[in-house]
Structure formats: C-alpha cells, structure tokens
Structure 1
C-alpha cells in the first residue's frame, strides 16, 4: 500500500498537479473561446463579415483564449518553470497553441465543409468538443514537456534521467517513494 501511495505522490508532484491547474485555466479559456465563438457566429458584433463565419469566428475566439491561457499558465500553472526569456517562451507557446488551433479548425472544416454539418450545434460539437479535446491533449503535453519542461528551466530542476534513476533505485530497494520525492524536492529547492 505504501508503494501505491508513493507512486500517487510522485505522479501528483510530476504531472497531476500541473494537469489540474492546466484544467482550471483551460476551463476559463474554454468559456472565453466558446462564448466569443457563439457571439461572433450569431452576429452580435455585426453581420456579413469573415469573422461571423465558422472559420473566422473560431480563429478570433481561439486567439483571444490563447492569450488568456498563456497568462494563466505562465503565472499560475507552470510558474515554477517560467523562463527569463519571456518573448521566446511566448512564441513557443503560440506555436503550440496554433497547433492546437489547427487541430480544432481541421475538425470544424471536416464537419462543416466536408461532411456538410452546418448547423450551429454541429459547428460547436466539431470545434468545441472533438477539436478542443484533441487540441487540449496536444497542447498540455507540449506545454508541460517543451515550453515549460524541466529541462527548459536552467538550474531549477534535476535532470530527468537522474530522477528516474533515483525512483528505480528506491523501488528496487523497496524504499518509500515519498522519501525520494522529498529528497528531490529539497535538492531542487537548494539549487
């Protein structure tokens, strides 16, 4: 039982804590994205322009949500891994976000233009359910392990290989993983 708790503690510290925070920021960003998308599609900001169409509305709504999410993720979710080169970090974030946007747009395009599902409900399902789910997995993995990965924060984290060696050694020695996690955290705090 101690081994399972140790594994859960290790996973919480390395991935799950970030996933929960990422989810909270993402839910707020999702509300911004879906709300703005629907306001544009319904013509609240005027009609007969590119941004009232499905693709234009999605580009605008996702772009606004991307900026909000960057601020939330930089200053809350991954704050311990912020880099001093803010411009480069933001550009990498935007590249990953555009990848997520393209995944959502592809889902919307296939549904709206290829399959002919043109209702507002079909557009929302394609863009804000299927596309968003696939794009979210893509973005989380690249944000966590590339944009704000441990290797990108000089001097703050132990080498991933070193951490894996310690976890394997503790497992083979039947030592509690909590002790290993505490030791790693202490060393990282001292750096």
Structure 2
C-alpha cells in the first residue's frame, strides 16, 4: 500500500467509510434476523442456518455497497460478487481465528471472553479486512465518486 492511499481528502474517506459501515450494519441485521428465524421457527441446524444467513447477508452487503459507496466504481473482473464473497469469507475466518486463539490457545473459555474475542476483536479486524478487500479486489479505485484511491 502506498502512502498516498492514506492521504485522501477526509470528507471523501468519511463518506466511503460511512457508506461501507451502513451496508455492513444492514447485512449484519439480515444475518442475525435470518439466523434467528432459521434456528427457531424453521428448526434448522446451526451450521445450515448460519450458512444460509451468511449467504443472504453477503448478498445484501454486496448490493448495498454496489448501490451505495461504490455505485460509480467499476467492479473488477468478471465475477465481482465471487470476489466480494471471498473477501467476506476471509473476514469470517479472521473472526473464527480470533475466537479459536482466545478459547483454545489462551484458555479464555467464558462466554464473555468468547464474545470479546469473536464478536468484538474478531469483528473489528474482519471489518478492516473487508473494507480493504472490497475497495482493493472488488471495486476499482478509478471512477469512485469523490473517494480516495488506494
């Protein structure tokens, strides 16, 4: 990454980050609501429910990003959704890795420790990875409406 990527105009960076965060919050709400419905009333197993809710949330996040902060950007390659999905899978792996290291490696096995490592630390690191991956591998820097280039 070049130094120039971090010297962007603050308003453009704020708009991009705000749009990305809004898309992420919407996707998170879809993930949580669908997972809860699939586990509860639909009585699906936890892995099936989570897989389906993750896929739906990725689709919502992609659409929200494509129609929001990256609406003027050109998607990279022939399969931008596949790249977006891969970036989100990498983010999910980061969350699981944080939880695994904390729970099994460090022996922090309480529910609070699991929540902090997976849902706070892991989510924070995964969000940084998702933001960078989305703007680097999914949507081209050229054509972003007033946003900084990286």
- Report the TM-score when normalising by structure 2: 0.70
Gaps of at least 5 residues in structure 1 are 1-6, 162-191
In 2, distance between residues paired with 1:128 and 1:78? Answer: 26
| Structure 1 position 133 matched with structure 2 position 124 | yes
- The answer for the alignment partner of 1:101 in structure 2 is 92
Task: Calculate the aligned-residue CA RMSD, in Å.
Answer: 3.4
The 5 Å alignment of 1:70-109 reads: 70-83=62-75, 87-109=78-100
Query: C-alpha deviations, 1:50-96, integer Å up to 9, x for none?
Result: 52xxxx655443332111101110111201003386x5111111111
Q: CA deviation at 1:32?
A: 2.3
User: Corresponding residue for 2:109?
Assistant: 117
TM-score of the two chains, using structure 1 as the length reference = 0.57
Q: Which residue of 2 aligns with 1:46?
A: 43
Match of 2:141 in 1: 150
Unaligned runs of 5+ in 2: 1-6
Deviations 1:94-138 (A, max 9, x none): 11111111111222334455536364x655444332221111010
**Which structure exhibits the higher relative contact order, with contacts defined as CA atoms closer than 8 Å and separated by 6 or more residues?**
2
1:46 shift after superposition = 2.1
Aligned length: 139
Q: Larger % of helix: which?
A: 1
Matched, 1:24 2:16: no
Does the CA-based 8 Å contact 2:16-2:69 persist in structure 1?
Answer: yes
Distance verdict in 2 for CA 1:27–1:50, change over 3 Å: closer
Q: State the distance in 2 between where 1:25 and 1:88 align.
A: 20
